[in-house]
Structure 1
Amino acid sequence: MFSPFSRKLVLAGLTALALGAHAADKPNVVILATGGTIAGAGAGTVNSASYQSAKVPVDKLIVSVPELGNVASVRGEQVFQIASESFTNAHLLQLGKRISALAKQKDVDGIVVTHGTDTLEETAFFLNLTVHTDKPIVLVGSMRPGTAMSADGSLNLYNAVVVAGSADAQGKGVLVAMNDQIDAGRDVSKSINIKTNAFASQWGPLGMVVEGRNYWFRAPVKRHTSNSEFDIDKLDRLAEVEIVYGYGNVAAANAQVLAERGVQAIIHAGTGNGSVADRVVPVLQGLRAKGVQIVRAAHVPAGFVLRNAEQPDDKYDWVVAHDLNPQKARILAAVALSQPGDSKNLQRVFWEY
């Protein structure tokens, strides 16, 4: 027979063992914080659109959502504390290399990146192209600061950790968890501001997170992460690529001015099916003759650019961006042109990724 005191010791030991086993069953998720609205603060609870971003550090973000401990063992790192419109190529490289290093650790099952929404889609696509891992990498942000009524950041962060710690999210490339949806980092774009349903893909989400459970409906088919020919561990620079915007009465000199900065490629964000104004065509032809790659994209929100439709791309030796919007086309061109290759190879890359 155990004495009452001995019985308490045994029960305490069993409880500790059970808690330890439960903790061991939880996935280990690292949250890398970079700033943005999800780390923002407004002057009052009604300030959902006017606020200062990148104010709350990662440790306070984690503490503000205690439910995270129910789904994962979480730790955080503050990589940057900036608004995402200020991201540069150097930021992308630094972040990508840190994620790659973490993904190689046996004690890391998934990675969440908190990010401002303005360029979140660009960072997601960059990581999708360059980080060689099957472990889930999930980007998350918010449209309202945590100080606002109906702030969306807490649930978005919770859902992102759920996805990052899930075995069924492995091998699906870099993901974005926003507004209960799980989107492919390649496809998703910010399509509206102010509202919480800001992110969408014209091809639809991959799935949803509902009450801490993932529901999947489709899978990515383009090359990504472990299947990519690009490797962040071997990438120390990105090619200089700029975007020229097409519109009525556009000045032909715009592209020429950018080219004088020594860019390797110009993304022409055309109207409609990537259309190029007649007065701009000879400028782009001249730049191509000098070795600058020309990529036709479109600034319409959906659809894709058809090769040799609006312009004789074969004749001009131009590339089409397929369904990538101009900002994502810039990311892909910057990565692809960091290593040798001609326009035919660049077009192949745009078809495959």
Structure 2
Amino acid sequence: MKNTVVLISLGGTIASLPSSSGGAIAGALSGKELMDRLQIKSDGPVEVITLCQKPSNAITTDDLLQLRVLCLELSQRKDVAGFVVSQGTDTLEDTAYFLDTSLGLEDTALVVTGAQRVPYVSGSDAGPNLRDALKVANAPQARGAGALVVFNEEIHAASSVRKLSSYQLNGFGSPGIGPVGFVDGDEVRLTKRVQRLSAIAPGEQLPRVDILPVAIGASPALLEAAVASGAKGLVIDAVGRGHVPPNWMQPLGALRAAGVPVAVVSSTQWGRLAEVYEYRGSLAEQVSIGVLKASHLNARKARLRLMCALSCNMPIDQSLFS
């Protein structure tokens, strides 16, 4: 019977304790200590694994790969209904999308959550978010839905969710798409599913891919410097519908001629890329030299998907983001 949920704790604000100076020590609590402190109760059995105890800015790609292997192993158990990964919110969307793009679990729920406020202050969202995440992970309708982020009584798809506030309790949202479901007391309701890209099984190491932000006067030297210092691929966080400064085109062309994979996204919160303009630096010109369009992803997520693809030597073409 599938009724066991496994909590995999990585640390973060949700697992904080106060320091002697009054600050918060993120990840000070183990997963078991977190459950005990919050007095979390669940409808079914909950197993707890503490994978690491870190603030989320310290999570590494090796941690992500270890987390993926753990989820794969546990998913083979017939009693496991789902997982809850708890961590800090700063890189929560990265972890969620890495799991979404690298795992194709068809009969296991996968939920990521955290907290904006430490668990020892009044009004903390640590307890409510973790309780809701456990409910979703145990819900049959969440199985096979890909990685979901549960936060502030909302359920979001990993591909669209963004951290929208640095401190407010409604810290996460999916611009232009909205939540895919809600938690209302004991009721879990998934109202829609977002179309997902095919899963990529990564290799043993994720190669370095750099994000280059576009802005007025941004130097094209960034492109060559990134590759010269070890980047195996690039993601351009472009303006508007996918545009870069005109003087970026020459080094971009040289990098593409050298075989460096480059993906482009829009830095806007919502809206697809489109080849609707014909000027130097336009999306159309970039596509003509082999730059890949990642229309529905932000830069951090496109980076993770490109890293996964490069790690297993799969063909890097437009189908990667389509």
By the TM > 0.5 criterion, same fold?
A: yes
Aligned to 1:334, the other structure's residue is in SS state helix
Aligned to 1:64, the other structure's residue is in SS state helix
Once the two structures are overlaid, the 10-residue window that deviates more, 271-280 or 91-100, is 271-280
Equivalent in 22, 27, 33 of residue 3 of structure 2: 27
Aligned to 2:38, the other structure's residue is in SS state coil
Partner of 1:290: 258
Q: How does 1:139-178 map to 2 (within 5 A)?
A: 139-178=112-151
Matched, 1:179 2:152: yes
Residues 71-128 of structure 1 show CA distances to partners (whole Å, capped at 9, x for unaligned) of 1211211101111112221111011101111111123221110011111111111111
User: Which residue identity does 1:259 align to in structure 2?
Assistant: V
Partner of 1:220: 194
CA distance in 2, matches of 1:270, 1:133: 33
Partner of 2:91: 119
Partner of 1:128: 100
Q: 1:149 to 1:43 in 2, by over 3 A?
A: farther
Partner of 1:211: 185
> How far does residue 342 in structure 1 lie from its aligned partner after superposition?
4.6
CA distance in 2, matches of 1:158, 1:219: 22
> How far does residue 338 in structure 1 lie from its aligned partner after superposition?
2.1
Question: Aligned-residue CA RMSD in angstroms?
Answer: 1.9
Q: How does 1:44-63 map to 2 (within 5 A)?
A: 51-63=24-36
Partner of 1:256: 224
Greater Cα radius of gyration, structure 1 or 2: 1
Residues 124-154 of structure 1 show CA distances to partners (whole Å, capped at 9, x for unaligned) of 1111112232200100100000012200010
CA distance in 2, matches of 1:286, 1:42: 51
Partner of 2:321: 350
- The question of whether the paired residues in 2 share the 8 Å contact of 1:308 and 1:314 is answered with no
CA distance in 2, matches of 1:111, 1:30: 5
Partner of 1:272: 240
> How far does residue 304 in structure 1 lie from its aligned partner after superposition?
2.1
CA distance in 2, matches of 1:280, 1:126: 29
> How far does residue 64 in structure 1 lie from its aligned partner after superposition?
2.6
Give structure 1 stretches of 5+ with no counterpart. Answer: 1-24
Higher normalized helix content (fraction of residues): 1
> How far does residue 269 in structure 1 lie from its aligned partner after superposition?
0.8
> How far does residue 278 in structure 1 lie from its aligned partner after superposition?
1.3
CA distance in 1, matches of 2:258, 2:169: 45
User: Which residue identity does 1:206 align to in structure 2?
Assistant: V
- The question of whether the paired residues in 2 share the 8 Å contact of 1:207 and 1:215 is answered with yes
> How far does residue 223 in structure 1 lie from its aligned partner after superposition?
3.2
> How far does residue 42 in structure 1 lie from its aligned partner after superposition?
3.8
Residues 182-206 of structure 1 show CA distances to partners (whole Å, capped at 9, x for unaligned) of 1111211112211111111121111
Aligned to 1:187, the other structure's residue is in SS state coil
CA distance in 2, matches of 1:200, 1:156: 14
Partner of 1:200: 173
Aligned to 1:305, the other structure's residue is in SS state coil
Partner of 2:81: 109
> How far does residue 323 in structure 1 lie from its aligned partner after superposition?
1.8
Q: 1:325 to 1:231 in 2, by over 3 A?
A: same
User: Which residue identity does 1:306 align to in structure 2?
Assistant: A
CA distance in 2, matches of 1:296, 1:193: 26
- Residue identity over aligned pairs, in percent, reads 27
- The question of whether the paired residues in 2 share the 8 Å contact of 1:295 and 1:321 is answered with yes
User: Which residue identity does 2:5 align to in structure 1?
Assistant: V
Matched residue count: 314
